[in-house]
Structure 1
Amino acid sequence: MRLNNIGPKEGSKQRPRRVGRGISAGQGASCGKGMRGQKSRSGTGTKPGFEGGQMPLYRRIPKLKHFTVVNKRRYTTINVSKLASLPANTEVTLASLMERGIVTSNDGPLKILGDGELNVPLQVKAAAFTAGARKKIEAAGGSCEAIA
Structure 2
Amino acid sequence: MADETKTDETGAEAIGLHNLKPAPGSRKARKRIGRGEGSGTGKTSGRGQKGYGSRAGSKSRARFEGGQMPIHMRMRKLRGPHMKKSMPFEMFRTETQGVNVQDLEARFDSGAEVTLEALKAAGLAKRSDVPVKILAKGEITKPLTVHAHKFSAGAKAAIEGAGGTVVEVESK
With structure 2 as the length reference, what TM-score do the two structures score?
0.47
Q: Aligned residue pairs: how many?
A: 96
Which of 122, 126, 129 aligns to 2:144? It is 122
Gapped regions of structure 2 (runs ≥ 5): 1-68
Match of 1:113 in 2: 135
Task: Supply the AA of the counterpart residue of 2:96.
Answer: Y
Which residue does 1:63 correspond to in 2?
Answer: 77
8 Å CA contact 1:120–1:142 kept in 2: the answer is yes
- What's the offset of the Cα at 1:99? 1.2
- The one-letter code matched in structure 2 to 1:111 is K
Q: Distance in 1 between matches of 2:109 and 2:145?
A: 11
For residues 124 and 109 of structure 1, the distance between their equivalents in structure 2, rounded to whole angstroms, comes to 14
Residue 88 (1) aligns with residue 102 (2): no
Unaligned runs of at least 5 residues, structure 1: 1-54
Does the aligned pair in 1 maintain the 2:125–2:132 contact within 8 Å?
no
Query: What are the superposed Cα offsets for residues 37-63 of structure 1, whole Å, 9 maximum, x if unpaired?
Result: xxxxxxxxxxxxxxxxxx8xx956633
How far the C-alpha of 1:70 sits from its partner, in A, is 1.3
Kindly state the Cα deviation for residue 104 of structure 1 after the two structures are TM-superposed. 4.2
SS in 1 for 2:146: strand
Asked which structure has the greater RCO (Cα within 8 Å, sep 6+), the reply is 1
Give me the CA root mean square deviation. 2.8
User: 1: distance between equivalents of 2:77 and 2:141?
Assistant: 47
From the superposition, tell whether residues 80 and 107 of structure 1 become closer, same or farther in structure 2 (CA, over 3 Å).
farther
CA distance in 2, matches of 1:97, 1:125: 9
Task: Give the TM-score, by structure 1 length.
Answer: 0.54
The amino acid that maps onto 2:76 is P
Between the aligned partners of 2:92 and 2:116, the Cα distance in structure 1 is 22
- AA in 1 matched with 2:155: A
CA displacement at 1:73 relative to structure 2: 2.3
- Quote the offset at 1:93 in angstroms: 2.0
What's the CA shift for 1:100?
2.4
Q: Name the counterpart of 2:160.
A: 138
